[in-house]
Amino acid sequence: MSGEDRAASRGVEIRTISRQEAGQRVDNYLLKALKGVPRSRIYRSVRRGEVRVNGGRISADYRLQPGDQLRLPPVRVSSSKPLSSRQAGAPRLENDILYEDDRVLVLNKPSGMAVHGGSGVSFGVIETLRLERPAAPYLELVHRLDRETSGCLLIAKRRSELRLLHELLRGGRVEKRYLALVRGRWTKGQLAVDFALRKNRLRGGERMVRVDPNGKPSFSRFSPVWAENSASLMEVELGSGRTHQIRVHAAELGYPLAGDPKYGDPDYNREMRDIGLKRLFLHASSVAYTNPATGKCVHVSAPLADDLRIVLEALGHA
């Protein structure tokens, strides 16, 4: 076995959490601190109490505090050279950055790429960005997009900025707009939707979201952009960020999204595949907010992906 393929052992390590590191979940900290250790091994260490804070057991969602004494367990770390983003089969994401300053960057996320690794995916957006920027002190997802959704994705470059943006999101002070193609001619004008949503897990572990009056509150505003008899292009503004929110709200209204395998119309999806639609037609077209710490307004738009533009042209939308 070559030296590159051997695994290196590391002993117990105690780290003191700094103010800059405080506030993050312990599992996220460990995933970065123990690079090369499988995710399953890290979570198993937490469950078994091998990871401790101030001498006590903690759960994976524990938020680290300044001065915490974090015990990292003895683990074996692969010493093989990490794959480059190109070797991992991922696009070079530096070419997809729409906006960047010293606090945040906005990425035009490619469709088909998960935002993070897990559930059978080794490399997502955030892992690929960290590989492309090995000297970056901090890169973290601010929010998430479904794997098949393209468009604006916020990445924080400072922990303080992540906390601030999370506060803005919770307060509804980040404007997020999407473009979605739905089945049929939209006849409802501009429409505000506030169906509450609840997550369910079906047999086999598949995650689905249902409209349920006992679910979590959610808000979407649908505005028609263009329509013909078989399809309508909608702009959707989100007032909340629930899982699959646009997809479930649209389906509940009787206008399922084109190409949606979970909540859509299978017959309609087949018709759309015949004119070139190979995935969910959902695109995060813009994001905007004002940073209260600096007073700076950030407003970024992502052009519609070529594969979706071609579908609109096939439907007669110039």
- Nearest-CA neighbor of 265 among 147, 182, 206? 182
CA 7 from centroid of its chain's CA atoms? 31
Transcribe 91-149 into DSSP letters: --GGGGEEEE-SSEEEEEEPTT--SS-BTTBS--HHHHHHHH-TT-S--EESS---TT-
Question: Which of these is catalytic: 68, 96, 146, 265?
Answer: 146
Query: For strand 175-183 and strand 7-10, is the pairing parallel, antiparallel, or unpaired?
Result: unpaired
Distance CA 212, CA 148 (A): 25
Distance CA 263, CA 10 (A): 47
Contacts by 134-141, CB closer than 8 A, 24 or more apart? 140/24, 140/28, 141/115, 141/116
Alpha helices in the chain (DSSP H): 26-33, 39-47, 125-132, 159-170, 245-252, 266-274, 306-314
- Residues sharing a CB contact under 8 Å with residue 254, sequence separation 6 or more, in sequence order: 184
146 is catalytic: yes
Q: Are 166 and 24 in contact (CB under 8 A)?
A: no
Exposure on the CB side of residue 30, measured as CA atoms within 13 A:
32
**Positions marked active-site:** 146
